[in-house]
């Protein structure tokens, strides 16, 4: 068995690759078990004996805490580093106490600066929209900065008090005593690299529009600057291929001419209504961390909910693929949870490795399964139809890989 290699510029993937996985908490083990069966069947079906995956189990979350006293033991970090890619189930984050977030910690540790969430409607899925057909939006969320980076100081703490004094004395800004304080940081480097990722994706996947989502009208020096930096990258990267919204509407009847890429921007609040009223106008969306967190779940709701939308955290050297939903503890060990999000995250992992046939096969099999009305309870209850369990759903996907 071999490891994914990286020579400083590109990855190499052996045909018999080792990939680590983390079950996760709550429903994590249920959906991981189902997903791994689908992955193995897919690889065997698509590549016969030419390619294979050996799965390496790593511990993190509540299981690791009870066994080792640490949510993410060093060995887990070392193994992800050694393998360069991993797939994980959801991990519980205690609210208002304990570890800040294992997910945020992993993103920081491996500099996984791009959170990528493709949201594509598959016919047969329930949707709150009258017509969800054709929704195909991939969100590139900056993953390392913004208020989401967790630079926060508790109300009444020494750090918060000194910041309040500093703001008053040095900057003449009055903040109420006893305020909790969070800091919003956005840099040119981080904003530009997420835009580069979004543009690379758009160009390599034949997408003709990239939308910058921001709240720069109010937060001018963070989100406003994010927008400007993104436009700078668009101009540098696309040159003559860049087309503006004005050119598209005034001279091209609203459509993007072949070979060109429209780069436009939307203020965050408007973006939320646009993805409901005109979702087909959006293809690739690039956004700071917090906006992206909210938007990805909102758009996921349009195509069946969190149970069906996959996600990836990708950096230059490492990548971790995941279900975007949480650990939904009330469904743990009940064979109820929907494994689709994690299964599609696996499809993204295979695409990342360059195994595009496996990516296509998994999407095809999920599509066929859902179209046949074989769905888990989260979706069935919306449609008033019968449901299957986690394992039975995976069985159907495996049958549809044939």
Give residues in contact with ligand NAP (CB under 6 A): 27, 90-93, 103, 306-307, 322, 325-328, 337-338, 341, 378
Other CB atoms within 10 A of residue 197 CB: 21
Question: DSSP states of 5-43 as a string?
Answer: EE-SS-EE--SEEEEEEE--STTHHHHHHHHHHHHHHHH
CA distances 78 to 2, 20, 83, 93, Å, are 16, 11, 9, 22
Query: Measured at CB, which residue is nearest to ligand NAP?
Result: 326
Tell the smallest beta-carbon distance from residue 313 to ligand NAP (Å): 9
Nearer to ligand NAP by Cβ, of 322 and 351: the residue is 322
Judging by DSSP bridges, how do beta strands 5-6 and 16-22 pair with one another?
unpaired
Question: Contact, 127 vs 279, CB < 8 A?
Answer: no
Tell the smallest beta-carbon distance from residue 72 to ligand NAP (Å): 12
Nearer to ligand NAP by Cβ, of 267 and 380: the residue is 380
Tell the smallest beta-carbon distance from residue 337 to ligand NAP (Å): 4
Nearer to ligand NAP by Cβ, of 17 and 328: the residue is 328
Does residue 215 carry a catalytic annotation?
Answer: yes
Tell the smallest beta-carbon distance from residue 13 to ligand NAP (Å): 25
Nearer to ligand NAP by Cβ, of 92 and 283: the residue is 92
Tell the smallest beta-carbon distance from residue 308 to ligand NAP (Å): 8
CA angle, corner 153, sides to 152 and 155, nearest 5? 130
Does residue 293 carry a catalytic annotation?
Answer: yes
**Paired tokens of 65:** 């805490």
Q: Quick check: helix, strand or coil at residue 117?
A: strand
Q: Which of 148, 201, 282, 318 is catalytic?
A: 148
Tell the smallest beta-carbon distance from residue 339 to ligand NAP (Å): 7
Measure the CA–CA gap between 51 and 17, rounded to whole angstroms: 8
- Closest to 326 measured CA to CA, from 31, 19, 21: 31
CA distances 89 to 26, 36, 210, 392, 401, Å, are 9, 11, 29, 19, 23
Nearer to ligand NAP by Cβ, of 20 and 90: the residue is 90
Nearer to ligand NAP by Cβ, of 58 and 210: the residue is 58
Q: Which of 21, 215, 265, 282 is catalytic?
A: 215
Does residue 220 carry a catalytic annotation?
Answer: no
As separate numbers, helices (DSSP H) first and strands (DSSP E) second, the chain gives 14, 15
Q: Which of 30, 265, 293, 378 is catalytic?
A: 293
Active-site positions?
148, 215, 269, 293
């Amino acid at each position: 068995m071999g490891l994914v290699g990286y020579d400083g510029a590109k990855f190499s993937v052996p045909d018999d690759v080792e990939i680590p996985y983390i079950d996760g908490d709550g429903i994590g083990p249920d959906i991981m078990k189902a997903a791994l069966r689908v992955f193995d069947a897919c690889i065997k079906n698509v590549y016969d004996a030419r390619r294979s995956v050996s799965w390496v189990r790593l511990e993190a979350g509540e299981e690791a805490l009870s066994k080792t006293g640490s949510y993410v033991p060093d060995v887990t970090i070392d193994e992800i580093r050694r393998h360069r890619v991993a797939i994980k189930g959801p991990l519980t984050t205690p609210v208002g106490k304990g570890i800040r977030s294992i997910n945020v910690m992993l993103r920081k540790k491996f500099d996984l600066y791009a959170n990528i969430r493709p949201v594509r409607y598959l016919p047969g899925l329930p949707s709150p929209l009258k017509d969800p057909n054709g929704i195909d939006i991939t969100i590139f969320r900056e993953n390392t900065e913004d208020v989401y980076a967790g630079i926060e100081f508790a109300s009444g703490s020494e750090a918060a008090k000194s910041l309040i004094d500093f703001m008053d004395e040095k900057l003449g800004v009055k903040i109420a005593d006893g305020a909790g304080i969070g800091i919003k940081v956005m840099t040119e480097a981080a904003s530009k690299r997420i835009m580069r990722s979004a543009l690379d994706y758009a160009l390599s996947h034949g997408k003709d529009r990239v939308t910058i989502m921001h709240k720069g009208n109010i937060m001018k020096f963070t989100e406003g600057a994010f927008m400007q930096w993104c436009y700078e990258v668009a101009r540098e990267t696309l040159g003559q291929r860049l087309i503006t919204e004005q050119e598209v509407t005034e001279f091209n009847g609203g459509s993007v001419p072949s070979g060109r890429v429209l780069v436009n921007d939307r203020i965050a609040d408007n973006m939320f209504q646009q993805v409901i009223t005109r979702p087909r106008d959006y293809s690739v969306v690039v956004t700071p961390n917090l906006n992206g967190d909210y938007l990805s779940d909102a758009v996921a709701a349009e195509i069946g909910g969190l149970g069906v939308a996959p996600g990836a955290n990708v950096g230059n050297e490492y990548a971790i693929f995941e279900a975007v939903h949480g650990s939904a503890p009330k469904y743990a060990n009940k064979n109820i949870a929907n494994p689709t999000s994690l299964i599609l995250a696996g499809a993204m992992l295979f695409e990342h490795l360059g195994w595009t046939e496996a990516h296509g096969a998994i999407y095809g099999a999920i599509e066929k399964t859902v179209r046949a009305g074989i769905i888990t309870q989260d979706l069935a209850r919306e449609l008033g139809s019968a449901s299957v369990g986690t394992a039975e759903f995976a069985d159907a996907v495996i049958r549809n890989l044939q």
